[in-house]
Amino acid sequence: MSSRPIRVLHVCDKFSLDGSSIHGVSRLFSWWFPRYDKSRFDVRLVGLRKRDAAGALLEQGGIDVIHLGKGKFDPSTLGALRRVIRAFDADILHLHGYGAATFGRIAARLHNRPAIVHEHFVDPAMPAYQGYAEAALAPLTSYAIAVAESVKKFCIEKRRMPPDRIGVIYNGIPLEEFRPAAPERVRALREELGIREGEAVVGAVGRLHRQKGFVYLIQAMARVRAEHPRTRLVIVGDGALRDELERAAVDAGVREAVVFAGFRPKVAEMLSVFDIMAIPSLYEGVPLTVFEALAQAKAIVSTGVDGLGEVLKDGETALLVPPADSEALAAGIGRLLADPDRAAALRRRCEVERTRFEVQSAVDQMQSLYERLAANPRGAPI
């Protein structure tokens, strides 16, 4: 390898998902790219699909994105990706998503370059065809990154990743960007959202997708409001389930208590409005929402699925409840509303824990991996 910076090509299937404006991996790109050491690394980003709203947001943030404009199973994706590899003279491919991992590992082997597969969640419905692809492509995996131990287990058992070539790098967030908003801004946002003086706010952030479990949170609000009528739910995010979730709120008799705030680019401002953060996910990797909640030292009620149960400590940094259980969610939320001292104790512990998840730590670990792979692309396991 020459003395020039190591050239890393990130490849991602797409940047938005299921009708959402942007998904978590795309937000990670917006945090990672400015933090790479430019004297050591030249990092570029490729999307396999057409330019979308999330790709446009990344570009507005100063990240150049190459859009291949290919369909999901388009075999010409391989040739298009190979042309980018040659033009960029990429040293390493860093792959996100099934399509990127499939075409990317083949392309990497054809160019004799190392390929990193980065898995961001546990997929309970991995397509059968992907299982066949993983069996064939596992030997082409130079290294795999899992965002949690549960995700690592999924990678080994379902994606056939070599156990000696996979490690865990927890996501993080830029803590400095998630400071609470000023009191006057919080007051303005509460007014905009229709939150009345003295009302408590339970908040949730994420794509409006079944994975996020928002229907159970909406159902929980009926039980919460029976004991704490001056409580509102604010859901931040967009996606294909918006109409279905609105109907669920009507069916639960809490439509007037639920605010669908839509996509908000300034998530930290919205978190500042919340008194309690709810994370009702059914399955995950480790959602960025949990790091955002820790950053602002929120009182958290969460399911303990997958990486959530690794990052959060029940009774210390959060109250953990079973997934798909609206009664348990309601009980957890009600407990914190009824016991401000308990909520304050959770927040104090979050203030301690949040320093573990600064995004620069994840970037530093990736940079170290790049250097090791560049020095020994086909050598012994790292």
Per-residue model confidence as pLDDT tens digits over 123-171:
998 999 999 999 999 999 999 999 999 999 999 999 999 999 999 999 9
Mean pLDDT of 283-293: 92
Tens-digit pLDDT profile for residues 256-268: 999 999 999 889 9
Q: How many CB atoms lie within 10 A of CB 352?
A: 12
Q: pTM here?
A: 0.90
pLDDT at 53: 82
Q: List the alpha helices (DSSP H) in the chain.
A: 24-32, 53-60, 76-88, 98-110, 128-137, 149-157, 183-193, 214-227, 242-251, 267-271, 288-295, 308-311, 326-338, 340-353, 359-375
Can you state the angle between helices 214-227 and 326-338, rounded to 10 degrees?
Answer: 50
Q: Give residue 376's pLDDT.
A: 84
d(Cα 101, Cα 286) in Å, to the nearest integer? 20
Place of tokens 């309601």: 330
Q: If residue 210 lies in a helix (H) or strand (E), which one and from where to where?
A: none
pLDDT, tens digit (0-9, with 9 covering 90-100), for 3-33 = 899 999 999 999 887 655 567 898 999 999 9
Name beta bridge partners: 145.
Answer: 118, 167
Res 3: pLDDT: 81
Q: Is 251 helix (H, G, I), strand (E, B) or coil?
A: helix
pLDDT value, residue 380: 54
Count of C-beta atoms within a 10 Å radius of residue 141:
23
Helix (H) or strand (E) holding 258: strand 258-262
C-beta separation of 148 from 307 below 8 A:
yes
Percent with pLDDT over 70 in the chain = 97
> How many helices (H) and strands (E) in the chain?
15, 13
pLDDT at 379: 57
Token pair 């009664």 is found at 327
Task: List, for residues 54-89, the tens digit of each pLDDT value.
Answer: 888 899 989 999 999 999 999 999 999 999 999 999
CA dist 164 and 156 (Å) reads 10
pLDDT of 211-248, one tens digit each? Answer: 999 999 999 999 999 999 999 999 999 989 999 999 99
Question: pLDDT tens digits for 314-352?
Answer: 999 999 999 999 999 999 999 999 999 999 999 999 999
Mean per-residue pLDDT, 274-286: 95
pLDDT, the chain, mean: 94
For the record, the structure tokens of 206 come out as 């994420």
Of the candidates 43, 94, 98, 99, which has an alpha carbon nearest to the alpha carbon of residue 76? 99
Question: What pLDDT score was predicted for residue 1?
Answer: 46
pLDDT at 46: 98
